[in-house]
Amino acid sequence: MTLVKGEGSRLWDDQGNMYLDFMSGIAVTNLGHAPERVKTRVQQQLDTLWHVSNLFRIPQQEQAAELLAANTCADAVFFCNSGAEANEAAIKLARRYHAKVAQTGRSEIITFEQSFHGRTLATLTATGQDKVKDGFAPLPAGFRYVPFNDIAALKAAVNENTAAIMLEIVQGEGGVLPIKASFAAEVAQLCAANGILLIVDEVQTGMGRTGALFAHEHYGLKPDIFTAAKGLGSGFPVGAMLAQEHLREAFGPGSHGSTFGGNPLAMSAVLGTLETMLEDKAAVRAAEKGTYLLNALRVKLSDVSAVKDIRGIGLLIGIECHEPVSNMIADAQRAGLLFISAGPNVIRLLPNLLVTEEDMDEAVDIIHTVLAKRSAAVTTIS
């Protein structure tokens, strides 16, 4: 399938077929396709200046950083070009903080089974899924993995070399698995009591996706470092690592950098996205729409035997099935609805944050038809 045009919640392929987009380029087009104010900002910047080196001040970068800092617990921002790069920067900052500022010499990062943090060598090593590491040895040292939401296992893994704990608030790629509130609180306590940095990977959960600008807000967490990408530029490739004040001096001039990171063109997309998101209260709307969609799915799919569980926060919703969902994705596509999987058995729904109730109703109807057909097929076979 080749998609050639997008507008709001809709996509068109090169044959002229229209689709309802419930994947948003995997949590990227959070404001829908071609959002007006982002487009205007980028177009204006295209006419003015595309790129200058970070050797110079870039006012758009400073504005974007100020806007992020004003609306989060972060005090400092580093811009890069993707989620993996943002997480790579977070890992480097945590290690350098322990080497140069706290001077503890700690280097180990604890992450979680089923997590996903990217595909650079360090971030695929941080990822708690073997499939992304296959064939890439030798991998960087200094990572340790524990089961998600298991505080006893986490406490047992912490030692005098633990520099940071890195987690997702909802494991998106891992199967739409939300953090337990009690676990979130215990991790925060564990970090504070032991001088361990808390890194939250908000690449998928950030930018309003879960009904808050960043998902850690739901749990009252104040991560030392967190990351963003995907929805940050509405489709323009950009990432960010955000950190609290005490981390600032860990990166001095020359210790980390990026040629393209934070250039005027990318920052115009970020500014347009953030301004729209804040002015339109997109996160609050995502929370309301998420509740509507979750309820509608639970009601409509209550008697569909293919369904094992329906869960999620805001507009990051998973439908866990008793069987692989690849055929269901293809069936839905033929019926005009696009969504993706999260692991083999979970359907992942990621509509844009401004999606209408009519669009959600239409999507729920298609999902019901597709899943009921699978249930009927399974029943017939058995």
Q: Which residues are annotated as a binding site?
A: 83-84, 116, 119, 201-204, 258-259
Terminal-residue alpha carbon distance, the chain: 33
Among 158, 190, 203, 350, binds ligand PLP (CB under 6 A): 203
Among 6, 32, 35, 83, binds ligand PLP (CB under 6 A): 83
Binding residues for N(2)-acetyl-L-ornithine, as ranges, are 119, 258
- Does 172 sit near ligand PLP (CB under 6 A)? yes
Site string for ligand PLP, 228-257 (x = CB under 6 A): -x----------------------------
Q: How far apart are CA 293 and CA 337, in angstroms?
A: 15
- Does 111 sit near ligand PLP (CB under 6 A)? no
**Cα 170 to the chain's mean position, in Å?**
8
Which 318-347 positions form the footprint of ligand PLP (CB under 6 A)? none
In whole angstroms, the minimum distance from the beta carbon of 45 to ligand PLP comes to 22
| C-beta closer to ligand PLP: residue 171 or 276 | 171
For residue 252, the one-letter residue type is G
- Does 282 sit near ligand PLP (CB under 6 A)? no
Among 21, 168, 224, 320, binds ligand PLP (CB under 6 A): 168
| Residues 251/41, Cβ–Cβ less than 8 Å | no
Q: How far apart are CA 243 and CA 231, in angstroms?
A: 19
C-alpha distances (whole Å) from 293 to each of 13, 273, 290, 310, 346 are 26, 24, 5, 11, 16
- Does 84 sit near ligand PLP (CB under 6 A)? yes
Dihedral angle sign, alpha carbons of residues 366, 370, 371, 375: positive
Residue found under tokens 């939300």: 178
| C-beta closer to ligand PLP: residue 96 or 117 | 117
- Does 21 sit near ligand PLP (CB under 6 A)? no
| C-beta closer to ligand PLP: residue 200 or 304 | 200
Among 98, 106, 117, 374, binds ligand PLP (CB under 6 A): 117
| Host H or E run for residue 331 | helix 326-334
Please count the residues of this chain forming the interface with ligand PLP, following the rule CB under 6 A. Answer: 15
| Residues 86/117, Cβ–Cβ less than 8 Å | no
| Residues 273/43, Cβ–Cβ less than 8 Å | no
| Residues 178/312, Cβ–Cβ less than 8 Å | yes
Q: How far apart are CA 373 and CA 271, in angstroms?
A: 44
Among 9, 61, 82, 210, binds ligand PLP (CB under 6 A): 82
Q: Site residues (CB under 6 A) for ligand PLP?
A: 26, 82-84, 87, 116-118, 168, 172-173, 201, 203-204, 229
